[in-house]
Amino acid sequence: MKMLCRKEVKLSSKGKFYITTAIAYTSGKPHIGNTYEIILADAIARYKKAEGYDVYFQTGTDEHGQKIQEKAEATGITPKEYVDRVAGEVKRIWDLTNTSYDNFVRTTDKDHEKCVQKIFKKLYDQGDIYKGSYEGLYCTPCESFWTESQLVDGKCPDCGREVKPAKEEAYFFKMSKYADRLIEHIQTHPDFIQPVSRKNEMMNNFLLPGLQDLCVSRTSFQWGIQVDFDPKHVVYVWLDALTNYITKIGYDPDGSDEVFAKNWPADLHLIGKDIVRFHTIYWPIFLMALDLPLPKQVFGHPWLLQGGDKMSKSKGNVIYADDMVDLFGVDATRYFVLHEMPFDNDGIITWELVAERFNSDLANILGNLVNRTVSMSNKYFGGVVRSTGRTEEVDEDLKTVVTGTRDKVAEKMAGLRVADAITAVFDLFRRCNKYIDETTPWVLAKDEAQEERLAEVLYNLTESISIGAGLLHSFLPETAEKIVKQLHTGLRNFESMNQFGIYESGTKVTDAPEILFARLDVKEVMAKVEAIQAAQKAEFEAETGKSAEDTVKEDETEVVINLEPKEEIEYNDFMKMQFQVGEILSCEAVEKSKKLLCSQVKIGSQVKQIVSGIRKYYSPEEMVGKKVMVLVNLKPAKLAGVLSEGMLLCAEDENGALSLMVPEKNMTCGAEIC
């Protein structure tokens, strides 16, 4: 089967740039948190093209595994019918959000399946894969085995769901064979894993303690790629899925093609932070075993969370990209998810916040600017924009901001700080609005002697907006194209976006300016949201036969505090516990858990690492600098695979909410609590 290419790639003097997303698991329709990744990747890909790189952008769907088989059986259709349906939905949403991928992969593509079989056989023949048996606790949704010590509250550390004992014959990959080589690579390539917090977790929690051999086949279900020399086995879903990055650009153990030779190694694997381990440990080791170069960078982006609440159809609070597009449009959807996501912390999305950003940023700052500028050109000069040379001192600051924006955007994009890059572009538009206030064109228009000055002001605005549109194109392509169309010009070449005065004097702008973003009535938006939420609840009830309201009540049952005294202890028992005041130096979320934060706590002259289940109530940023009460001599233990060397003391109210216990007065770090 040939690769599904969207467009022919043009050669570039700057070289190639191969970018991939994680392929979407076909367990259901992707919500906006899933869609964020493809939009982010698209913005990066478009930007690199603008810079002059020869970009190849690959995405797609991951379609094998036990979870898929069980969902298909529950629906009464074959697994292939099930994944065809979901993959079609994924592709529809990727296209709806105007993503410019070059290749949409499906792991059920026959060429991929055949190549995976060859890869498995090659690794087996060279002794990297061997047959054995596996016994452990298995999480079906995550397709992962866990040991008892790796569980969090007795459940899967990745997704928080129940695990079940499982034992089966399996093939294993010798991970430890390549571990030292991978550690050296990470240490000598500081940009390989980004952000740095992800690198630290992989090194400290997985690589340095030592890798166990990895189970790479299953026999308890059939929906997967068969091991051709042992047909009762199917290939482990992660070995299957990860290899798409090479199989679908022409890799073959028997001889790869020129597309692979041109594009590999990948310049950027863009993935969610929850699958960093697979992409920075398993995948590099597979590549080492295949004697292939490693990708240049793996970026584990944060999550987009729905108002801090768990998304579920029973609550009707799942946000889907197509619903957002219906209410706000494609580029408003793109703007929100790109602008609101921090570099290394989770972002928050609510319908109200999207509407607020639409009105404040898109309608007021950008849409109003373009409309006012075009309208004034029409009103005062019949739409003709002229540069007259009647400059004043105020013009220079505008030009400095506008011509300096390209390099600011370039700096931010080089570090994948996309939200900061968009902010820089909108700072340009904000400066244009300020320039209007400073120059008061409506006042100039009343004085015939100021006609040439008025013309220069409108030229400066038009030129600034033209440059801004060019920089905006990577993020909001449709909007950027609409802007330059109204200005009767084209998108500016990236190399010239730091030059002022290229817009051709004497050009006539459109005489019918289009409203780019009309302000929204938030009440009307929320009424439509209520209809969306009601439809989700109805769909939930139709699918499950359960009442949505009753399900929500079950999920939100109050936690009642047991105030009954525990067993009495002796004074000497109490005195065995050592409590001290600690100061939190740094804190980050534990990636394998939705509940845990990992803090570095200074206690006197020492620093202890303490893991606490308070992520729902405190962000990592809030924790830094706090003076807290610490149980110092608690026996160290691993939580979600992360070592914890103490306990932070908290109070818990009748609703189960937690609050850190902090000293009433400013106490010295290390002070004893007695």
Across 198-212, 224-238, 559-573, least confident range: 559-573
Amino acid at 66: Q
| Pairing of β 129-139 and β 164-173 | antiparallel
DSSP 194: E
C-alpha separations of 346 from 141, 342, 589, 599 in Å: 22, 7, 10, 17
**Torsion region of 654: left, alpha or beta (phi above 0 gives left; psi -120 to 50 gives alpha):** alpha
Q: What phi and psi, each to the nearest 5 degrees, are found at residue 365?
A: -75, -50
Residues in the chain: 674
The sign one gets for the Cα dihedral 664, 665, 666, 669 is negative
Q: What is the mean pLDDT of the chain?
A: 89
By the 8 A CB rule, do 504 and 353 touch?
no
Percentage of the chain lying above the pLDDT 90 cut: 66
Per cent of the chain over pLDDT 70 is 92
CATH no., domain 18-306: 3.40.50.620
Taking residue 122's Cβ as centre, other Cβ atoms within 10 Å add up to 16
Listed ranges 499-508, 582-591, 593-602; the one with the highest mean pLDDT = 499-508
Per-residue pLDDT reduced to its tens digit, 613-626:
898 888 887 888 88
CA distance 664 to 222: 61
C-alpha to C-alpha distance for 512 and 518, rounded to whole angstroms: 15
Structure tokens at 236: 């482990």
Asked if the 347-508 domain carries CATH number 3.40.50.720, the reply is no
The DSSP call for residue 10 is P
To which residue do tokens 């400059």 refer? Answer: 391
pLDDT category at 260 given cuts 50, 70, 90 is very high
Residue that has been written with the tokens 């990066």 in this structure: 44
3-state secondary structure of 471: helix
In which residue are the tokens 């994680």 written?
A: 22
Max intra-chain CA distance, the chain: 94
Q: What is the pLDDT of residue 244?
A: 98
Please give the full DSSP string across 635-660, using - where no structure is assigned.
Answer: PPEEETTEEE-SEE-EEE-TT--EEE
Q: How many whole angstroms separate alpha carbon 416 and alpha carbon 301?
A: 10
Mean per-residue pLDDT, 106-113: 98
Which amino acid belongs to residue 100? Answer: S
pLDDT value, residue 154? 87
Residue 326: pLDDT over 50: yes
Does residue 673 register a pLDDT over 90?
A: no
Per-domain residue ranges of the chain: 18-306, 347-508, 571-673
Q: Token pair of 329, please?
A: 């449009």
What gap in Å lies between CA 498 and CA 489, rounded to an integer? Answer: 17
pLDDT digits (tens, 9 = 90+) for 510-524: 999 999 999 999 999
Which range has the worst mean pLDDT, 270-284, 325-339, 584-598? 584-598
Taking CA atoms, 359 is separated from 354, 398, 429, 520, in Å, by 9, 24, 15, 7
- Least confident among 12-16, 105-109, 292-296: 12-16
Question: Of 159, 4, 204, 180, which Cα lies nearest the Cα of 91?
Answer: 4
Phi, psi of 569 (to 5 degrees): -125, 160
Exposure on the CB side of residue 551, measured as CA atoms within 13 A: 14
Q: Which residues contact 451 (CB under 8 A, 6 or more apart)?
A: 444
Residue 571: what pLDDT? 63
> pLDDT tens digits for 10-21?
445 689 999 999
Angle between helices 32-51 and 79-96 (to 10 degrees): 50
Identify the CATH homologous superfamily for domain 571-673: Nucleic acid-binding proteins (2.40.50.140)
Contact 385, 503 (CB under 8 A): yes
Query: Is it the case that residue 612 has pLDDT exceeding 70?
Result: yes
Q: Is 275 exposed, middle or buried, given 0-12, 13-18 or 19+ CB atoms closer than 10 A? A: buried
**Chain-centre distance of CA 566, in angstroms?**
45
CA–CA distances in Å: residue 588 to residues 36, 515, 611, 624: 22, 43, 10, 10
User: Strand 298-301 relative to strand 304-306: parallel, antiparallel, unpaired?
Assistant: unpaired
Task: Enter the DSSP assignment of 512.
Answer: S
Task: Retrieve residue 311's tokens.
Answer: 């998304």
